[in-house]
Structure 1
Amino acid sequence: MMGTFGKKLGAGWRRFEDGWFGAVDARVYALLRIAFAIVALLNLIDLWPHRAMFFSDAGMIDGAAMMAEENGQLRFSVFNDLDSPGAVTWVFVIAALAMVCLGLGIWSRVMIILVFVWQLSYTYRAFPVIHGWDILLRIQAFILLFSPLGPSLMALLKRGAGGAIRRSESLVPRYGLILIQIQLAVVYWQTLWLKEVDGSWRNGEFISYFMLSVYSRFPSIAWARWEMASALLTYGTLIIELALPLLLWNRRTRWLGFAAGFALHFGILVTSKIWLFSLVVLVPYLAFLDGKDLDRLAARFRGKAKSASSELL
């Protein structure tokens, strides 16, 4: 009996170990790193015009106000000491350079440390204007901090025999990808839970309210009369958010999950002013890919490139 229990325990441990630490293609981490660096840089660029207002003592909130807000216990932020407009500008420049280097794969481990310090610093310093996507970027940076980061961009694009993108020779543990996947599931399901108690989501009127708000790119009073369209889009959003993590975790339905997720966030991107939210949420989708997916995408890309070359000739 003990022998049977020991075998089951050993088998369970092996499944756990393979699930969290099994080998995956390092290129997946590289794509995730590059996508994160690009979106983090876009977020920094969005903050750039407001750097003195939000991050310096000459702006909206000075150090004394921050100290009072935190009851004398300031959280870690480089802006606690580098609080002049000039110093803040230099922090932005250094953070931007770190993101560029991170995307290229130059000293990736050092760069992700710098980027995480940036994410931690600006979200603590400018908390009155922080959005949900800023916190998501901070969590993604924290996970990447101790995850494999994959080959550099040059190594990723280096072409081997037949013009194929070279497959990384090294395999790395999957735990970082699993954590990113869990983060995405938590985002969708926690959001769904919070929406469940909101009357406008329950009665199907949320999309109408949103399209009439200041967050809409194309506000129109017509949405007050489009009850059916609002209900379909509102309830459709809830269904997609409920199903997306399950679709992405199942290999057979993964591409359906990608299609549904991209359609949802492309719609948000086009119709709302919170475009950064969609970009930040789409970054974790790359964590659901594997080496075989990348090989298929590369083969399809090469096929289209050859077809285009033949037509030109």
Structure 2
Amino acid sequence: MNATRPAPGRPAAREPLDRRLARAVQRATSTALGPYQSAVVRIGFAATWLFFLLREFPHRHELYGPQGPWSWDMTQQLIASNRSFTVLMWSDSTIWFEIVYVLAMLSSVLLMLGWHTRATSVLFMVGVLSLQNRSVFMGDGGDNVVHLMAIYLVLTRCGRVWSLDARRLARRGNAFDPVGVLLWAVLGFGLVAVTLFRDRTGEPWLLWLLWLLWVAQGVWWLIGHVAPGEPRTFLDVVANLIHNATLAVIMAEVCLIYATAGWYKIQGSRWQDGTALYFPLKLDYFTPWPALSDLLAASGVMVMLITYGTVIVQVAFPFTLFNRRVKNVLLAVMMLEHAGIAVLLGLPIFSLAMITADAVFLPTAFLLWLEGRALWAGRRLLPRRGAVPGQRTATDEDSARTLVG
């Protein structure tokens, strides 16, 4: 045993490259990486879209419905040229619009709770694309991020933790799920309708993707119950690879957003002289709190510091991924910056979307700490009958294991 240890004062030999590559490949194929980060992305974007739909519910007909300035005929002409996906082109009736809008809100709630996430993530994507592509000019920048992430979430295993799926799996294992089978059959009928109206739906590649996902889910369930051995292991490997690749794409997308935003700002004269923040603070459209905006705009030093700080943080963030501590500091700064944008400029949807996208870089230890605080608060607020205050029970342990996955 002593012969294998390095001599005192001598550094240990580095592991060979082939072993490190083998271990990296084994980890990428056997594990769905970032389960907590993907769960935060799932919950955050579902909550963001739901908040937007609820906030605009009184104005839904003007935004996306028949009464909007962007008429149904104009949308039909646009979709005929760009082939954007939307089921709202099936009919111009108000009833059909109400059905789609309500289903979009329902799918957001179910995805946020993690109820049959494979199916609800597809419904969430259909709702997002259908409404946004109906009126392409109704957005503040955050809609583009939600648009992209709704597509990416379909390819991730985002219900591994913090979901009703994880709770059901911990309680029942791989038992027969009649609700899942019924949901799969109903979605099959929906895909038939999408195929019949494909000339009005747009995006033929997305139609093929929906059919592929539907067939893959059926094969997944069939193999899991008929041949749960090596075939199921192979499907797990494929699912893990797709999940990990999609998670890497999400991270790259966030870095690309900040890098392009920062470099374009550098080229602007108002960002170069440090006065760019002053002008939106003086626009009525971006001043929900005029007194607060005037107070900030009155300080030239603060305007200059925030303007330059915004550019520096956005340009530097992609390079800080190589240093965990610096990355975490800049991540907190960017989240605080977006929170300030939500308050000062009145852009809550944009800010929530960007904060959720930033959350994909949150450290797992921090998310586990938040989980522990949530469990502790839940025990304090809802103590179980017969339990001694402050004492962990067997049920608490089971709940913790369920959330940790």
**TM-score calculated relative to the size of structure 1:** 0.79
2:51 to 28, 42, 57: 42
Q: Is 1:237 the counterpart of 2:246 in the alignment?
A: no
Structure 1: segments with no counterpart, 5+ residues: 1-6, 161-169
Matched residue, 2:123: 114
Q: Is 1:89 the counterpart of 2:102 in the alignment?
A: no
1:46-195 paired onto structure 2 within 5 Å: 46-69=55-78, 74-151=83-160, 153-154=163-164, 172=240, 174-195=244-265
Structure with larger Rg: 2
TM-superposed CA distance for 1:174, in Å, is 3.0
CA distance in 2, matches of 1:282, 1:184: 10
TM-superposed CA distance for 1:78, in Å, is 1.0
Q: Relative to structure 1, is the Cα distance of residues 109 and 154 closer, same or farther in structure 2, using a 3 angstrom cutoff?
A: closer
Matched residue, 1:277: 350
Contact 1:29–1:177 under 8 Å retained in 2: yes
CA distance in 1, matches of 2:77, 2:56: 25
TM-superposed CA distance for 1:279, in Å, is 0.5
Q: Amino acid of the residue matched to residue 86 of structure 1?
A: I
TM-superposed CA distance for 1:147, in Å, is 1.2
Matched residue, 1:217: 288
CA distance in 1, matches of 2:84, 2:371: 45
* CA deviations over 1:9-29 (Å, ceiling 9, x no partner): x67965874796573253332
SS in 1 for 2:279: helix
CA distance in 1, matches of 2:60, 2:157: 32
Q: Relative to structure 1, is the Cα distance of residues 218 and 13 closer, same or farther in structure 2, using a 3 angstrom cutoff?
A: same
TM-superposed CA distance for 1:263, in Å, is 1.7
Q: Relative to structure 1, is the Cα distance of residues 80 and 230 closer, same or farther in structure 2, using a 3 angstrom cutoff?
A: same
SS in 1 for 2:286: coil
CA distance in 2, matches of 1:305, 1:64: 51
Matched residue, 1:167: none
TM-superposed CA distance for 1:262, in Å, is 2.0
CA distance in 1, matches of 2:56, 2:92: 16
CA distance in 2, matches of 1:299, 1:256: 22
Matched residue, 1:266: 339
CA distance in 1, matches of 2:97, 2:153: 25
Contact 2:335–2:355 under 8 Å retained in 1: yes
Matched residue, 2:368: 295
Tell me whether 125-134 or 240-249 shows the greater mean CA deviation: 240-249
1:26 to 35, 42, 45: 35
TM-superposed CA distance for 1:43, in Å, is 2.0
CA distance in 1, matches of 2:35, 2:371: 15
Q: Amino acid of the residue matched to residue 208 of structure 1?
A: Y
Contact 2:114–2:165 under 8 Å retained in 1: no
Structure 2: segments with no counterpart, 5+ residues: 1-15, 171-235, 382-388, 391-405
**TM-score calculated relative to the size of structure 2:** 0.63
CA distance in 1, matches of 2:368, 2:72: 52
* CA deviations over 1:119-145 (Å, ceiling 9, x no partner): 211221111223311111011111111
Percent identical across equivalent pairs? 24
TM-superposed CA distance for 1:306, in Å, is 8.9
Contact 1:119–1:138 under 8 Å retained in 2: yes
Q: Amino acid of the residue matched to residue 153 of structure 1?
A: S
Tell me whether 55-64 or 76-85 shows the greater mean CA deviation: 55-64
CA distance in 2, matches of 1:15, 1:209: 52
Tell me whether 130-139 or 291-300 shows the greater mean CA deviation: 291-300
CA distance in 1, matches of 2:365, 2:246: 18
TM-superposed CA distance for 1:252, in Å, is 2.7
Q: Amino acid of the residue matched to residue 48 of structure 1?
A: F
SS in 2 for 1:35: helix
Contact 1:55–1:79 under 8 Å retained in 2: no
* CA deviations over 1:266-298 (Å, ceiling 9, x no partner): 211221111111100011233224544433444
SS in 1 for 2:137: helix
